[in-house]
Structure 1
């Protein structure tokens, strides 16, 4: 079931309404389903049927709620994406794959098609830009080295980090993922732009090629 944000005593859960507990203890005291119910007006017993926010987003078109409630849910997911985009505009020095995951996970785990992006780094390994290279079908993206390094060169990249999502939620790299990564590493070596890592984002999980010694 959808996870909880913070547990409080069971007797308090039964005694107080969602609104009362939010006012008294803060939004952090609510379960995910309770917080969404407060935002959208959708009854919690409808929301609690879903195992994750990803599943809720995927099933949104068929959800048996009012059009206004659907619009509120769509607005919630859209604002989450906007917030993530706003956060990543901040120049940030990358020192570990987990930091890339933390930067992109909240947005990319909800995408229903594969998106291939590159993080453009300066000489201090600070992110200067995140560029979307391709948007694919439900389970595949089309990536050409020409497009990757055209963007890298135009943005004066010293190095890049590759990243894409798996809509299935399983970040395990496919043979195609491994092959395109090797092609991009070779191309980068030829023009002097190093590929530092390739990070695949799943459902609250990620796999780093560097951590797995795949590059």
Structure 2
């Protein structure tokens, strides 16, 4: 089985492997009762998007400490690659930003507030994580966002934060903070394009809901 999977990677590329095949390559060996592919399928069927702890992985017959560590390390490496990706320095839309951030922070266990800075032509200048934690007026201030904007001569900004609980609803704190930020942006000639809430599979827009 492992030889066949390696030959498939060599012949067609690793992107052609199914999820269970990728996991099988990482695990390496199965058991007398289950092939490595069967074991991989069992793990995938009993996990929530591979959100597994060391103990949970080791509860599967055939997964020891070494295999569990390999799986967790591979998942973490993939997550870090996604989080290191940035938007291209070209014209982008709010939908581009939303879809990009679903991949980047949709699965984050903590709330992260990100600002995407643009110029007059809607070209991305930079994106930055401004704050990690609950977004409200007591913990994050508009100056934290605007200081960066002024420093890079950005004229427009989109902000977004994720909801680990999966809710696409804007809280009262979210709305109050956004209104305060919009007023501050207006005072120094910066356009607040939108505020997005990001979840694992979707995003919502404060502007599209006519809340700003």
| TM over 0.5, shorter chain | yes
Q: What 5-or-longer segments of structure 1 have no aligned partner?
A: 1-16
Structure 2 residue aligned with 1:3: none
Q: What 5-or-longer segments of structure 2 have no aligned partner?
A: 29-35
Structure 1 residue aligned with 2:140: 143
* TM-score, structure 1 as length reference: 0.76
Q: Deviations over 1:161-210 (max 9, x none)?
A: 00111111222221211111111111111111111011111021111222
2:53 to 52, 60, 63: 60
* TM-score, structure 2 as length reference: 0.77
Per the alignment, do residues 167 and 18 of structure 1 end up closer, same or farther by CA in structure 2, a change over 3 Å counting? farther
Say which one has the larger Rg. Answer: 2
- 2:54–2:72: 8 Å Cα contact kept in structure 1? no
Per the alignment, do residues 213 and 21 of structure 1 end up closer, same or farther by CA in structure 2, a change over 3 Å counting? farther
Structure 2 residue aligned with 1:157: 154
Per the alignment, do residues 152 and 26 of structure 1 end up closer, same or farther by CA in structure 2, a change over 3 Å counting? same
SS in 2 for 1:88: coil
SS in 2 for 1:196: strand
The alpha-carbon deviation at position 25 of structure 1 amounts to 7.0
Task: Give aligned pairs, total.
Answer: 191
CA distance in 1, matches of 2:151, 2:101: 22
Structure 1 residue aligned with 2:4: 20
- 2:5–2:25: 8 Å Cα contact kept in structure 1? no
Q: Deviations over 1:8-35 (max 9, x none)?
A: xxxxxxxxx5863681776556543342
